[in-house]
Structures are given as C-alpha cells and as structure tokens.
Amino acid sequence: MTKLLVVATGNPGKLRELQAYLANSGWELTLKPEELEIAETGETFAANAGLKASQVAQATGQWAIADDSGLQVDALNGVPGVYSARYGSNDSERIARLLRELGNAVNRQAQFVCAVAIARPDGTIALESEGICRGEILHAPRGEGGFGYDPIFYVPEKQLTFAEMSRELKGSISHRGQALKALIPQLAALNI
C-alpha cells in the first residue's frame, strides 16, 4: 500500500525536489491544500519545520513533511537566519542588503541550515533532522543557477558558488540534501 505524505508547501518546485530525494521511500508526496495557510512563528529552523509539519498534518489528517531553511552569517551573529526569506522583497534586494551589512568584513564565513520534520496525522512529531553546509560570502554575485542567496554563497572545497553548481552537485552537498539524506533511513524504519 502506498503511504501518503503531505508536503507543507504551496511551492511545486519544493515538491519536485523532495520527490527526487524520497523517490524510493515507499511514500507518495502531495502538495498541501492551497487554502491552508501555515504560520512560521518559531525562532529556530527546527521549531518552524515542526510547526509547519504539525499544522498540515492536523488540518489534513495525514502524515506531513516540512522543511525550514536559511542562511546564517557568522560576522552578523547568524543573521538573516530564520528571517532569510523576509530579509528583502526579492532575491536581489536580499543579496544587496546582506552585502551592505557585511561590508568589507574579513570574516565572511557562513552556513546554510535546513531542518526537516515529519508529523503524524495527530500533529505529533515523528522524525526530525538537520543539515548544515558551510561556505563563504563573496563580495559580488557569481553564477546564474539556483535561487535565493546561491550566487553569493561560495563553497571553497568545490571552488564554486551554489549558483555555479549543477543541481546534482548542489543537492549532494547542500544543507537540504544532507537533512533529507539523514531522514531516509529513519523514514524507512518507521513501522506504519
């Protein structure tokens, strides 16, 4: 029997990405109902992922999965963090604001973090995982791919920004890729 997992997002791109990671997991993924608004009021990525998964599970009566992610810049004490999506009104404004606030700081270390949570139909959390990818903030954007802060996030080991990587390469090292990879064996072990 196929098991249904509702994805706590209205974004079909995020659904496709999760489907690719969880392709052989035995779960069928579906988007949350469009009219279902979900609050993101937590102060950590894990709290937000849990909140989103719980709300969607309870509203639909199904198992639900949610992720929450963002960029933490060391010299800015972890900003923009959980506010990454709300740091400006579009990607280029968000990047411009971050570069302005970081200025010519010598310490440009940063990390992307992704928390994932899976909730049971009653809203309780069954599984959680977190992935981190360390890198450095460039002085100017580089590369055309990806989204969000990708063009200014440089990974020294690969000598590329996230925006210069293929989807496969980014997925193999990214915060989201690592969080989901850690979740797959746990999901398989769930005895339902």
SS3 112: strand
User: Is residue 21 close enough to count as binding ligand IMP by CB under 6 A?
Assistant: no
Write out the two tokens for 161: 């920004």
Residue 63 or 112 with smaller CB distance to ligand IMP: 112
Of 21, 27, 63, 149, the residue at the interface with ligand IMP (CB under 6 A) is 149
Cis, peptide link before residue 185, omega less than 30° from 0: no
Does the active-site annotation cover 68?
Answer: yes
31-50 residues near ligand IMP, rule: CB under 6 A: none
Of 148, 161, 165, 180, the residue at the interface with ligand IMP (CB under 6 A) is 148
CA distance 122 to 141: 44
Residue 3 or 97 with smaller CB distance to ligand IMP: 97
Q: Are 82 and 45 in contact (CB under 8 A)?
A: yes
CA distance 45 to 113: 8
User: Is residue 84 close enough to count as binding ligand IMP by CB under 6 A?
Assistant: yes
Residue 121 or 171 with smaller CB distance to ligand IMP: 171
